[in-house]
Every structure is written in structure tokens, then in C-alpha cells.
Structure 1
Amino acid sequence: MPYWNHPWTMGWAGGIGMLVLMALVLAALVVLAVVLARRGPQPPPPADTARRILDERFARGEIDQEEYERRRDALTRTR
């Protein structure tokens, strides 16, 4: 029994529409995967790394407080 005699069937237009819908869903999934992959952890900016190293050197006693403050001020001025 052919399906085109029934009013609830969509015929060729429905088949093409389903293919388009599946392609759109697949494209949305790919876009979502790319967006989520790019949102991964970002490395800290270089200035923060320099400040961290300066803090560590001061904590270890390699530089005194005057040298620490001078270099810290120099780092904050360059930003």
C-alpha cells in the first residue's frame, strides 16, 4: 500500500526536511564541541608569572624588602 495516500505522511519534502534537520543538529554539535574545546584552561599572563617569581624570591630571602618593592613597582608600571 503506497504511503502518499495517507494525510499524515510527508512524502519527499519530509525526507529532505529530516536530512536538513539532521545536518543542522550535527553542525550544532560540532560547533558546541569546538567552543567547549577552546574554553580550556588558559595560561597565566606573563606579568603574573613575573610577579609570582618576584614574590617567591622575596619569600626565600634572595632579595630584601627595598629591592622587592622597587621591582614590584617597576612591574606594575609596565602594565
Structure 2
Amino acid sequence: MHWDGDHMGGWGMGMGWLVLALLVLGIVVLIMIMVGIFRGRIGRGPGGDDRAQGPERNRARDMLDERYARGEIDATEYDEKRRRLENRKDKD
């Protein structure tokens, strides 16, 4: 029985690189998913938060929310303006 030190018949180094490449790819994908979750782009389905509708939508809704929070408008006015914003979104 002759020992040549090559247990895998030449596949050892190739499989090692493949496993390493898949590991790195998996880590990159995981990082991208985590960034997406933390930025709020993943996990919101239809009917979720309105912030996923674009920058103009964000700004209008944010301003409305801030005015309501400061007490500048009451709940009735807030609801009416929010409905108008939602109707505008449906027309786009």
C-alpha cells in the first residue's frame, strides 16, 4: 500500500475553494438582507407603512404626522388629510 498524501484524488483543494466561495456569498447575502431590514425595505407588504411609497409621499406624510403630534391639527383634520394623501397615491 503506497501513501501519496492525496486522500481526495485532487478534489480537496477545489472543494475547499468552492466551500469558501459559497460561504463568502452567503455572508454577503446575509449582510444585504440585514441592511434591508434595518433600513425598512423588507418586511412591509401591501398596506404596510406608507414610507415605502417614495420620497414625496414620505415628506407629505411626515409633515402631516408632525403637525398632528405638535397639536397644530386635530384628529378629524388629520384623518381627512391622510385620506386625501392615500387617494392621491391610488391615482398615481
TM-score (norm 2): 0.53
Same amino acid, percent of matched pairs? 18
Which structure has the bigger radius of gyration? 1
Give the match's secondary structure for 1:26.
helix
* Cross-structure match for 1:24: 22
Question: Which amino acid letter does the alignment assign opposite residue 50 of structure 1?
Answer: L
Deviation at 1:69, TM superposition (A): 5.2
List per-residue Cα deviations over 1:27-65 (Å, max 9, x = no partner): 1011111111221144x733254134124224xxxx6xx
Moved over 4 A (4+): none
Structure 1, unaligned stretches of length 5 or more? none
Cα distance, 1:39–1:57 mapped onto 2, change above 3 Å: same
* Cross-structure match for 2:5: 3
* Cross-structure match for 1:76: 82
Taking only aligned residues, the RMSD between alpha carbons, in angstroms, comes to 2.6
Cα distance, 1:23–1:69 mapped onto 2, change above 3 Å: closer
Contact 1:54–1:72 (8 Å) recurs in 2: yes
TM-score (norm 1): 0.59
- The number of equivalent residue pairs is 66
| Structure with bigger RCO (C-alpha 8 Å, 6+ apart) | 1
Structure 2, unaligned stretches of length 5 or more? 41-49, 52-57, 87-92
